[in-house]
Amino acid sequence: MNVVTAPAPSRTWPMALRVTLALGFRATCYAVMLWMALLAEARPAPRLPDLVLAHVPYVPWVDRWNYALWTLAYLPVALLLLKEDASRFCRYTVASGVLALLRGLCILATGLGPVNGADVNAGMDAASRMRAFFQLVSPVDVLGANTPHTYLTKDLFFSGHTATTFLLLLYVWRFQGLRAVMLMGHVLVVASVFLSHLHYTIDVIGAYAITFTVFSLFEGNPRALLAGEPVPDGGVSRARAS
């Protein structure tokens, strides 16, 4: 039986260009996701009961700093992946862009109310949405002014903190040193999600399911990867004949 393989990315393009295009794609997807999340902010939505959060204390300082923790857990490992395997970094970056688009669509489709506090953004007008968008795409405003806590109260299903760090963990799994660092960072980020009451439990569970699905579609054979077997660098691994 002939085995069909997915086409490998072009190797004639300089790696710097491939990295730049991948990062540009991801940034565009992230911006689109933010816009969809802000559209969802304008709709009134109900709060859900959550059995897990009912037994997890809310820690204000964790809530205040969880975006900084996410950045520290995520960015250094992503840069080390770029240094270790630039081609894999490009695939990871494109996969994370697709994940962001899926997250935006899920946020629009679900309409969950804020985990904490009142639904303050219900009825957000177009001018406020545009102002919020430009503040949310600014790293200075996100980390300095903490704008996500103001404008993103209903970007819930699924958890971006969980999804992004889990996807990076899967992509660095074959590198033992990076795996250990990212696993620790991922656990801390997920713990911060619960301690800050940033997401419902279903948002975290859904993030794992959707992220692993995206990773599987891009890499093709996650079982071999997690078992430590070599996977072709071209991306999707060969399908096995039954």
* pLDDT tens digits in sequence order for the chain, 242 residues long: 444 444 444 456 799 999 999 999 999 999 999 999 999 999 999 999 999 999 999 999 999 999 899 999 999 999 999 999 999 999 999 999 999 999 999 999 999 999 998 999 999 999 999 999 999 988 776 666 677 888 899 999 999 999 999 999 999 999 999 999 999 999 999 999 999 999 999 999 999 999 999 999 998 877 666 665 655 554 444 333 33
The pLDDT score that the predictor gives to residue 11 is 55
The pLDDT score that the predictor gives to residue 163 is 99
The pLDDT score that the predictor gives to residue 242 is 34
Taking alpha carbons only, the member of 236, 172, 240 closest to residue 6 is: 236
Report the alpha-carbon distance of residue 28 to residue 146 in Å, rounded: 21
Report the alpha-carbon distance of residue 218 to residue 13 in Å, rounded: 20
Please provide the size of the chain in residues.
242
Q: What's the pTM value of the predicted model, to 2 decimals? A: 0.87
The dihedral over CA atoms of 192, 193, 196, 198, expressed in degrees to the nearest 10, equals 160
Report the alpha-carbon distance of residue 54 to residue 34 in Å, rounded: 29
The pLDDT score that the predictor gives to residue 94 is 98
Report the alpha-carbon distance of residue 177 to residue 237 in Å, rounded: 24
